[in-house]
Chain A
Amino acid sequence: MTNTVLERLRAPFEGPNTTGNSTAFWVVLALGVVGLLAYPSIASGGAAENMSQYLAYAFLALSLCFIWGYCGILSFGQVAFFGVAGYTFGIVAINIGSYTGISLAVVVALFVATAFAAILGYFMFYGGVRDVYVTIITLVVAVILHRFMGQTAGSEWAVGDARLGGYNGMVGVPNDAIGFGSVGIDMTGTGLYYIMVGTLLATYLGLRALVNSQFGYAMVATREDEDRTAMFGYNTEFIKLATFTFGGTLAGLSGVLYMFYSPGGYINPDVFSVSAAALPVIWVSIGGRKSLIGAISAALVIQWFNNRIDGWLSTGFELPALTPSLELTTTTVVPGNEWSLVIIGSVLLFVILVMPEGVAPRIESTVHRVLERLERRREQRSQSADVEAETETEVPE
């Protein structure tokens, strides 16, 4: 009986559009969540705080995975929505200030990121812009924002009390709690960490349900063959616009959560830079663009690795050309480490050449194959047992 209840509970989250539809997968996922929840008690406070940052990035990975993997829209500019949400959050929170202001800042930031994505998406998809041209427009939008925000150093570039600050960035955004008036939920340290894990899990499950729904099927159909889907009477422009807009919301959520993590409430134009824009593409390509869990895991693992590798390498051997840009690594999205970018870039190249579908789908198919082989072996053994017994036709499990 419990089995059927569990199965009914699982049903909306399973379908042909997600990797991991077996009991084994859910058990592993549960273990993973438990591991993430236990992490702050095991690791040092600093490590847990870093992990909050990677958890914020995981939403950015999800946003690209959702629009690229499920609807075929490759955007190189998801960081644009991330950064716009971050800056909007900063502007509202600085100007209003109280816990109410921070709550309002979350709402306004998500709204602005969503509206920005909707306008850009309407402009592109209803204008017949497709494929690589979408990729280029999104990248150009990020580049324009990078250059524009970079030249806002003067005091005339301020919204109310919030100074944009050019390449030095915006500092002192209040981000310690969310609530109304003087009543607030703590958004620092491990409190923030648990909120992020909870939100990420909810978002992941929600997206699983979404991509396995009717709308998810329409998204995948649009990805596979847009003209044919349109022939069947689907409004593919609207499907793409809706997908892209929701992707903008997710990237915006990532930006807002990043601001809660950000030490000293700090954001600078480097969030729009080309090397930052590359990060979501790296995570999703390596993790597997048709796998939501792959994208999340890749974001967490790669950023964690990116942070660690520098320590490993600098204790391992001498690096002559270590530049002072290292100081930026704790506060910006840009990986400032010397060799980590080379290594991560090489891994990306390797994955694209050897397993274009990504790591997570490869793991799933491997597990599948191993299980099938075990199954076959068991059948063979039971068959030979049949022959020996020569009486029974079915062997009880």
Chain B
Amino acid sequence: MGPYELLSLFFQFLDSFAFLVLATVGLAIIFGMMGVINLAHGEFILVGAYATTLSFHSLADLGVPLALPIAMVVGVLVTMVFGLVLEVTVMRRLYGRLLDSMVATWAISLIMIQLLRIQFGNSIDNIAIPGGNVSFGPYTNPYYELFLVGAAIAVLIGLYWLFTRTDFGMRARATIQDKETARSMGVDTDRMYMTTFVIGSGLAGLTGALYAPMQSMSPEAGTGFLVEAFVTVVVGGTSVIVGTLLASGLLGLPKAGFEYAFNSQLIGQVAMLVVAIVAIRLMPSGITGLVESWRQSRRESND
């Protein structure tokens, strides 16, 4: 394996890693905070992607400059509003009812897939990938993929800042740790839940907006995002940032490696899912649980 092949493999890994991080964070935040698995997460991403694509085309027709960035902002905002509406009407009745919430959000997902199909047909016009290509040896890679890696890392850093350095983050963590005590200390936990759900939706919308130029969007595309996000959250465990980061790294490796070795996306995906199943079997409470128990044992040996 020459240097070019290694570099290409490395790019493939970065690509998988960024995809997993971006597909996962929105789901992970909602799961970590409310203990609710949002099975409509893939369709939230689609809302972002559809809103971005449609507004991009109408903006480009009007000749507006910077149409893509503006369309992406529109995509994120639309998804946030969408998340807010669903939170108020449905989700807030389901907090703490894990299995019910899964079934209910699955119902939402089915409804949305079908509504998207009825409204927009089986596919919509793509956006071209912006920016040029970086080429090395016989390989080329769009710059945009590197931009996505940067975006994934920026999102993680942003969330770290949000949850550890701001007043909101403090209240959010208090709500996760002990809802009753947080309430008695004056934290409006219902509002924390609502805000968190909207942030999670916004991140899903961002993912949709960022991947709108990369993938052809169809009503079923949400399932692809969902399954990978789903296993990454579960392998990661309840800690949003550490869990997402480590799990994306762990699952990105077999995905990129097998995809590269067999030159088949399908085998990469299957390898990733198999690794995920084994990982869940070996670490039932996710990587975060493992990190947690490792920390604890270190603390005990120090005492």
Contacts and interface: CB of A to CB of B under 8 A. Distances in A.
A274 interface: yes
A26 interface: no
B99 interface: yes
A144 B111 contact: no
Interface in B32-58: 37
B221 to A, nearest CB: 12
A105 interface: no
B270 A147 contact: yes
Contacts of A349: 90, 104, 107-108, 111
Nearest to B230: A136
A356 B106 contact: no
Given A74-B102, A342-B115, A147 B281 contact: no
Contacts of B273: 140, 143-144
A332 to B, nearest CB: 14
Interface string B81-107: 000000000100110011110111011
B114 interface: yes
A196 B97 CA distance: 36
A310 to B, nearest CB: 13
B90 A353 contact: yes
Interface stretch (A34-42, A125-133, A167-175, A184-192): A125-133
A285 interface: yes
Contacts of B234: 132-133, 136
B57 to A, nearest CB: 19
B37 A281 contact: no
Given A140-B227, A349-B108, A128 B284 contact: yes
Q: Which among A144, A148, A349 has the highest number of chain B CB atoms within 10 Å?
A: A349
A135 B98 CA distance: 11
A323 interface: yes
Interface string B232-266: 00100000000000000000000000000000001
A140 B277 contact: yes
Given A144-B270, A148-B270, A151-B266, A346 B281 contact: no
Interface stretch (B118-126, B182-190, B204-212): B118-126
Interface in A297-349: 319, 321, 323, 338-339, 341-342, 344-346, 348-349
Nearest to A127: B281
Contacts of A127: 281-282, 284
B111 A345 contact: yes
A285 B108 contact: no
Interface residues of B, number: 40
Contacts, number: 110
B110 A137 contact: no
A239 interface: no
B284 A321 contact: no
B276 A135 contact: no
Contacts of B284: 127-130, 133
A25 interface: no
Contacts of B156: none
A339 B115 CA distance: 8
Interface residues of A, number: 43
Given A281-B103, A338-B114, A323 B281 contact: no
A124 interface: yes
B274 interface: yes
A130 B103 CA distance: 17
Contacts of B115: 342
Contacts of B99: 74, 131-132, 135
Interface in A191-236: none
A365 interface: no
Given A130-B284, A136-B230, A275 B97 contact: no
A352 interface: yes
Interface string A350-367: 001100100000000000
B103 A348 contact: yes
Contacts of A141: 277
Given A127-B281, A133-B280, A353-B90, A281 B111 contact: no
Contacts of A352: 94, 100, 103-104, 107
A167 B8 CA distance: 31
Contacts of B90: 349, 353
A321 B231 contact: no
B195 interface: no
A107 interface: no
B117 interface: yes
Nearest to B222: A274
Contact of A341 (B93, B97, B108, B114): B114
A135 B270 contact: no
A76 to B, nearest CB: 8
25 contacts: A124-B281, A128-B284, A129-B284, A132-B98, A133-B280, A136-B231, A143-B227, A147-B270, A148-B266, A278-B106, A281-B106, A282-B107, A321-B119, A338-B117, A338-B118, A339-B118, A342-B110, A345-B108, A348-B107, A349-B108, A349-B111, A352-B103, A353-B90, A353-B93, A353-B104
Interface of A: 74, 123-124, 127-133, 135-137, 139-141, 143-144, 147-148, 150-151, 274-275, 278, 281-282, 285, 319, 321, 323, 338-339, 341-342, 344-346, 348-349, 352-353, 356
The 9 closest A-B pairs by CB, nearest first: A345-B111, A348-B107, A345-B110, A349-B107, A341-B114, A352-B104, A127-B281, A128-B284, A345-B107
Given A128-B284, A130-B284, A133-B234, 17 more contacts: A129-B284, A133-B280, A136-B231, A136-B234, A140-B273, A147-B270, A150-B266, A321-B119, A323-B121, A339-B114, A341-B110, A341-B114, A342-B111, A342-B114, A345-B107, A349-B108, A352-B94
